[in-house]
Amino acid sequence: MEEKITKIPTHVSIIMDGNGRWARERGKERVFGHLNGVESVRAVTEESVRLGIKYLSLYTFSEENWSRPESEVGYLMNLMIKSIAGELDNFMRNGVRFLALGNREHLPELVLSAIDGAMEATKDNKNLTLILFLSYSGRWDILQAARRMAEDFASHPGDLAGVDAEAFGRYLVTADIPDPDLIIRTSGEERISNYLLWQGAYSELVFTPVLWPDFREEDYRKALLEYSLRDRRYGKVK
C-alpha cells in the first residue's frame, strides 16, 4: 500500500524535541543527542527541497532554554556556530536561503556573526527558506511587536483603531513569512511550549513519538501524509 502525499504545505515547522532522552537511552550525556540532531536537520532540509516545500522552520532554542545548565547552553551555542559554518556548502548546493529569527539581545556575539554571515551568503537562494528560531518564544515575539507598534503610534494613537491582524503581524519577527501550515513535534510531547502562538493559530498539528535524532525522511513523509488527509476549515462550514 503506497499512500501518496497529495498536499504539499508551503510552510512546515518542527518542534525538534527528545535529544536529551535519545542520549540518555544510550547511556550518554544529553549533549550527545544535540550533536546527533544535526543530522536530522540535514535530512529534513534536503527532503523539503526535494518535495518543493518553500519554508521549513525549526524551533532550535527557546527563550526558556536559557534556564538550562550553563554547560548545556554553552554546548548548544558552540554547536550552532559549527553547524551553520559546516552546512553552508550544502545550503548553496541545495539553493537554501538561511534565516535565524529570535531575540538577538540574548545571543552571544559569535552566534550572531555566524547567523549573519550565513544569511548574507545565502540571501539569493530560491528553493527553500530554512528558518531557525533561536532564542525565540511566542510571547516574546508578540510583546516585542506590541512595543514596537506602540512606539510607531505614539504620536498618533488614534490610528491604532485601524490596526488589524495582518497589520499587527507585520511587527512580528515573521513579518514576511507565511504562517506555518503544519507544525510537527517529535518525542511524544503534545504541547506548543511557547512556540508560534500567533502564527500557529490555524496550523495543523502532528505529534510523533520519534525522538528528534532518529527523525529521518520516512518519518517526515509520514507526517506530511497525515497533513495531506486533514480537512482545513478555518472555522467555516463546507
Which amino acid would we find at residue 53? I
Q: Does 204 bind Mg ion (CB under 5 A)?
A: no
The residue of the chain with the least Cβ separation from ligand IPE equals 20
Count the site residues for Mg ion by CB under 5 A: 1
Applying the rule CB under 5 A, the residues between 2 and 21 that interact with Mg ion are 17
- State the virtual CA torsion across 35, 214, 212, 99 in degrees, nearest 10: 70
Q: Work out what residue 210 binds among ligand IPE, Mg ion, none; the CB cut-off runs from 5 to 8 Å by kind.
A: none
Q: Return the number of the residue (9 or 20) whose C-beta is nearest ligand IPE.
A: 20
Cell numbers that stand for 172 in this block:
512580528
138: Cβ–Cβ under 8 A, 6 or more apart, which residues? 192, 194, 195, 196, 197, 198, 200
Coil, strand, or helix at residue 27?
A: coil
Q: Is 152 a catalytic residue?
A: no
Q: Work out what residue 59 binds among ligand IPE, Mg ion, none; the CB cut-off runs from 5 to 8 Å by kind.
A: ligand IPE
Q: How far apart are CA 50 and CA 221, in angstroms?
A: 12
Least separation, in Å, of the C-beta of 172 and ligand IPE?
18
Least separation, in Å, of the C-beta of 33 and ligand IPE?
6
132, β-bridge pairs: 58, 100
Q: Is 176 a catalytic residue?
A: no
Contacting residues toward Mg ion, per CB under 5 A: 17
Q: Which residues are catalytic, by number?
A: 17, 65
